[in-house]
Amino acid sequence: MITQKNTLIKLETKSQLAKLIATENITIQHNQVKTASFDTVNRVLTLPIFKVQSGDVYDMLIAHECSHALHTPAEGWKQISDDDSLRQYVNVLEDTRIDILIQKKYPGVVRNYLNGFDIMEKSNFFGLNGKNIDTDLMLIDKINVRSKSSNRLPFKFSKEDEKWLELVDGLKTFDDVVKLSKDMLNWQKKRLESLKKLPDFDDHPFNDSYGDGDTTDIDSEDSQDSDNADDDGNTINEENGEDKPHNDGEDESRVFTPDEFGAGGEGGLDPNKLKVITNESMEKAKEELLNTSTKYNYFKLPEPNLKQVIVSSKKWIEIWKKNEYSKSDYSTNYTTESRKEYINWLDNKYKEFKKDNKKTVMYLVKEFEMKKSATAYKRSSTSKTGVIDTLKLKDYKFSEDIFKRLTITPDAKNHGMMMLLDWSGSMCDNIKQTIEQLMNLVWFCDKVNIPYEVYLFTSEMDGKENKYKYLDDGDKIINGEIKTWNYKHGDGFFGNLNLVNVASHKMKKQELDQSLTYLYHMGLYYNERYTYRNDDNDQHKGDRYLVPDEFWLGTTPLNEALVVMNKLIPMFKRKYNIEKMTFITLTDGGSNSNYGAPRIENDGKNLSVVDGSSGGTPVITINKKQYKAPENAMRGSLTEMLLTALQEQHGVNTIGFYVVKHLRRMYELELMVGDYKDWNDKQTKIAKIKSQFVKEKCADVFNGGYNKYFLLNGKDMKVENTDLSGVSEGMKAGKIKQLFSKSMKGRIVSRALLNKFIKEVA
């Protein structure tokens, strides 16, 4: 946001204005640039950010650059030589041409041009203070200011100048501009060659304005003059309060001619190196207003190579099958019989867990169906059938409503789910509880026939078929390599990952149970390994097989996984005609890359990585829509942007689960309170989270990018039913009431999370 007094300039609003004026969905970028520019090939309009800016000036710049987008050919500038003088002349005449065109097409911007010039002229943007606009400026500068001022300054043109002006006003194409620029530049050079022969040329204003000296500096005195400007753009004479005109010569109507100087003089002005001083002055003045503290890092999402990234459920099971009877280096008492004993023990353990959680799943199913029915009932409508209701015939004299009515209930929406399981080292303390929560969700989807896919995201797949191809020397991407991403110019650079399909509605029942058994095995394995105790109060039997190297816990490529989801989710929705899509992450919320991404650039031969992660607020462009990190964003801003994009681009409901055993890390809680007024308000909200976590075994907290984010108590997540087994014959009524109240309390508390979850899903 750019502030001018009480006026707020919203960059997002200005981006929409630019798209409307350009009559196409161009990409708008605001960044640390000296002047607005338009990439006519990639259709990207880049606008500078100013410390103090008027809406009129900003709109004028937008209209100007959009006119370039519409009328300046992409290859136009390539036909101009390296002659800097010619480029400046072409720049002025082309600006004049396209400004006329855009004001004719959109009359609403005429007022922006008028007000914008007045603001810039008061601040001496064109370096006109102290100059006689008739005698001190060459024709090209007069044309420039004449155009910028909408022909409102009182120039006095000679008859020869008038002929040039007619040609300028008659410009139709860019080729016309180039041709006229060459003719005018050659004419000006010849005229100066004649002037330089005059004996008093050193005193000519041209020599002062266009010589080697720096005459266009905007110093503090100019700023003071601009502060004393009146509404008409004239500076105020501090001594007598009278208007001080631009020209301070003795005779403002005086025009120098060659005859006034005689012949034979030499000056410091080089006719072969001409410049447009009003344009140079404007660029220097604009630099003083540039915001050098705000910077953005714009990038697009790369296209994932799905064949490289996705590990199928078939491949997942195949790897485990090979591992079941393999002897590891850590085995001390391995035999085929001892391994079979463990496999049988694990199978029974999994079945026991599945049976114990059946009531949890059925409760989810019941609540889901109830919520769906209630929602459908709210959407129901009653219509006349066209069949007369005989019971209403008696009312025909005073009512036209004598027809039977039919209540129409709309069909339920098609639901779908995709889930991501974090397979990183930071999950080790709660991996078992998280897997158990995931399996309940899978069984729930199976029971209600919801299409679903479950992937664990990992950085550790290093088999031959999935071997990562890193950048050569760290900065070049070699074309033709098998890689995770198919990079293009302007893409963000992300790390490598794999998504392993561990559960799916497409799997047969036996395959699903086999897959979840392996997943359950990993939960038990890592729980025992990292917590140094067995939560199940009994050790496993037989020789336990270890986790394959491919599925070890690694880093956290969460953001990379979300980029892939931006591709997978729309494919999934189209394939199964999903109307209500739920996307669930089971993670601790952190990611390898939290704040941005280096950018990919193409030099015409190879793709190179340009560091941008530490040089500005990240802005992701997806389908011409931009997603910017929140102001003062810290950890997780890129994750929040990617989740928000999933919501808006694909109509996804995002839900996060984070299983914890202790709320001991205060800095994490501070990130989950959302907005707060002051320190006391923040502490109150933290206390509320802790209280809810203890009482309900879960807490509904803030996490940017999620519609709902749940902290789950990993110590106790079982669903309890009413238990009156303690009631005995002859027990007093008060005691029975006490047992009943206690049982009901446990039943209600254990269902708090389930109710919240189903409310979001159904």
Q: Strand 580-586 to strand 415-422: parallel, antiparallel, or no bridges (unpaired)? A: parallel
The residue with greater pLDDT, 723 or 675, is 675
* The total number of residues written for the chain in this structure: 762
> Nearest 5°: phi and psi at 391?
-75, -15
Distance (Å, rounded) from C-alpha 644 to C-alpha 707? 9
Distance (Å, rounded) from C-alpha 478 to C-alpha 607? 8
474-498 b/e with 16+ CB inside 10 Å = b? eeebeeeeebbbebeebbbbbbbbb
Q: What is the pLDDT of residue 312?
A: 93
Identify the band that residue 744 occupies on the pLDDT scale cut at 50, 70 and 90.
very low
Identify the band that residue 723 occupies on the pLDDT scale cut at 50, 70 and 90.
very low
Identify the band that residue 410 occupies on the pLDDT scale cut at 50, 70 and 90.
very low
Whether residue 456 is predicted with pLDDT greater than 90 in this model: the reply is yes
40-44, 402-406, 433-437 — which is least confidently predicted? 402-406
Sign of the Cα torsion 29, 31, 37, 40 reads negative
Identify the band that residue 233 occupies on the pLDDT scale cut at 50, 70 and 90.
very low
pLDDT digits (tens, 9 = 90+) for 584-624: 998 876 788 766 677 777 766 677 777 654 567 888 888 87
State the average pLDDT over residues 50-78: 75
Provide the percentage of residues in the chain whose pLDDT is more than 70: 67
Q: End-to-end distance of the chain based on CA atoms, in angstroms?
A: 39
Whether residue 266 is predicted with pLDDT greater than 50 in this model: the reply is no
Helix (H, G, I), strand (E, B) or coil at 70: helix
DSSP letter for each residue of 502-537: EEETTS-HHHHHHHHHHHHHHHHHHHHHHHSS-TTS
Would you tell me how many other CB atoms lie within 10 Å of the CB of residue 499?
A: 26
Q: How far is CA 675 from the centre of its chain?
A: 21
Q: What is the pLDDT of residue 30?
A: 78
* Residue 610 host element (H or E): strand 607-610
Cα three-residue angle 235-239-240, rounded to 5 degrees: 80
Instruction: Let me know if 519 is exposed, middle or buried by CB neighbors in 10 A (0-12, 13-18, 19+).
Output: buried
286-295, 310-319, 464-473 — which is least confidently predicted? 464-473
Identify the band that residue 692 occupies on the pLDDT scale cut at 50, 70 and 90.
confident
State the average pLDDT over residues 217-225: 39
Q: What is the pLDDT of residue 98?
A: 92
DSSP label of 72:
S
Cα three-residue angle 278-280-284, rounded to 5 degrees: 115
Q: Which amino acid makes up residue 626?
A: Q
Cβ-proximal residues to 243 (8 Å cutoff; 6+ apart), any chain: 230, 232, 234, 235, 236, 237
Whether residue 517 is predicted with pLDDT greater than 80 in this model: the reply is yes
* Residue 628 host element (H or E): strand 625-628
Q: How far is CA 422 from the centre of its chain?
A: 23
Distance (Å, rounded) from C-alpha 646 to C-alpha 743? 42
Would you tell me how many other CB atoms lie within 10 Å of the CB of residue 138?
A: 21
In this structure, what token pair is assigned to residue 669?
A: 């809680």
State the average pLDDT over residues 644-671: 80
Instruction: Let me know if 623 is exposed, middle or buried by CB neighbors in 10 A (0-12, 13-18, 19+).
Output: exposed
The residue with greater pLDDT, 84 or 653, is 653
DSSP letter for each residue of 433-486: HHHHHHHHHHHHHHHTT--EEEEEEES---SGGG---PPBTTTEE-TT---SEE
The residue with greater pLDDT, 691 or 567, is 567
Nearest to 417 by CA among 64, 761, 648, 731: 761
Instruction: Let me know if 356 is exposed, middle or buried by CB neighbors in 10 A (0-12, 13-18, 19+).
Output: exposed
Q: How far is CA 319 from the centre of its chain?
A: 38
Whether residue 55 is predicted with pLDDT greater than 90 in this model: the reply is no
In the block, which residue shows the tokens 């033709």?
480
The residue with greater pLDDT, 395 or 610, is 610
Contact 311, 548 (CB under 8 A): no
Q: What is the pLDDT of residue 186?
A: 92
In this structure, what token pair is assigned to residue 366?
A: 């019941």
State the average pLDDT over residues 142-152: 91
State the average pLDDT over residues 505-512: 95
The CB-side HSE value for 318 (13 A sphere, CA atoms) comes to 8
Q: What is the pLDDT of residue 544?
A: 84
State the average pLDDT over residues 472-490: 60
Q: What is the pLDDT of residue 649?
A: 94
Whether residue 67 is predicted with pLDDT greater than 60 in this model: the reply is yes
In this structure, what token pair is assigned to residue 26?
A: 């161009």
